[in-house]
Amino acid sequence: MSAVTTGQRVRWGILATGGMAATFTADLVALPDAEVVAVASRTEASARAFAERFGIPRAYGDWESLARDAEVDVVYVATPHAAHRAAAGLCLEAGRGVLCEKPFTLNTREAGELVALARARGSFLMEAMWMYCHPLVRRLRALVADGAIGEVRGVRADFGLAGPFPPAHRLLDPAQGGGALLDLGVYPVSLAHLLLGEPSDVAARAVLSEEGVDLQTGALLSYESGALASVHCSVVGGSANSATVTGSTGRVEVPDGFFAPERFVLHRDGRDPETFTADPADGSPATLAHEAREVMRALRAGETESPLVPLDGTLAVMRTLDAIRDRVGVRYPGEAPRTPGGSGGLPEPGARTGSGTPGEPAAAVTPA
């Protein structure tokens, strides 16, 4: 991995040219200590158009050329998530640092391979879970950790989009890792992990499409402490995208957009509610600049992973996502069969548990 010294601008490469890549790059070019020096796509025309849009000096029509570019310190991978393993692995093999969009990969096996590769090569790797880097989310976590609401008893979070999405949309395409869970449900699950850690038990139900992706999913995560987390995601109905953290002496309510909140309200027993709002100096609540700053801070500090988005935490979230998919019967093309213990400490699921009728709920599974 290229060495980055204090005060030096971090040189970024962008791998992919879709909407997510454009959103991130627009925020990135506004940072004075960042420099976007190259972009790659599967077609040179797409890469050149993206480069012209953002004033990027080098455009490649293949991923390998970007990975081999020695003047790139870190690559932002924004492909559809079915390609994350291949794209991020290519860059890590070539010695580049990587910021990989969420969900990190399709499954725990792929995630473990990337983490092992990065650690073996001493290369920087981070999941682009921007929620963890958001100043107000960090404030919420600190308050909860300091005991502001006592012992955490429960977390509830939902993320739903109304659509409708055209049949060819990636959210409905099994080949691209489609479905509500990996694209949207990763946020509620990650919030539960941020505040409670990895669950000891998982139960779930889902409504599946004819193609076999989950249109909406609900899961109950259980913890040895007695805490519960209820998470929901949907691509067939818009929700408030809200969250509540309940403790033994109070609660925190995030009324909307919990993954990039403008405010949250702290309710403590015997006290008036306190409202915490985003600092205007931090920019738009929806900016992706916070995660970019964290990557650059880590690179300058010589760190190979971020304490805000640690790799072990990413692996734990992937194990939970795998467990939910196992419970509701979602499999993606080319996935290897689960091996005993493959769910990472969670009870090994059985065979496919869907109801067998598209559009009806898949059956819940109670682990043995």
Q: Please give the positions annotated as active site.
A: 102
Answer whether 82's CB lies under 8 Å from 40's CB: no
HEC-encoded secondary structure of the chain: CCCCCCCCCEEEEEECCCHHHHHHHHHHCCCCCEEEEEEECCCHHHHHHHHHHHCCCEEECCHHHHHHCCCCCEEEECCCHHHHHHHHHHHHHCCCEEEEECCCCCCHHHHHHHHHHHHHHCCCEEEECHHHHCHHHHHHHHHHHCCCCCCEEEEEEEEECCCCCCCCCHHHCHHHCCCHHHHHHHHHHHHHHHHHCCCCEEEEEEEECCCCCEEEEEEEEECCCCCEEEEEEECCCCCCCCEEEEECCEEEEECCCCCCCCEEEEEECCCCCEEEECCHHHCCCCCCHHHHHHHHHHHHCCCCCCCCCCHHHHHHHHHHHHHHHHHHCCCCCCCCCCCCCCCCCCCCCCCCCCCCCCCCECCCCCCC
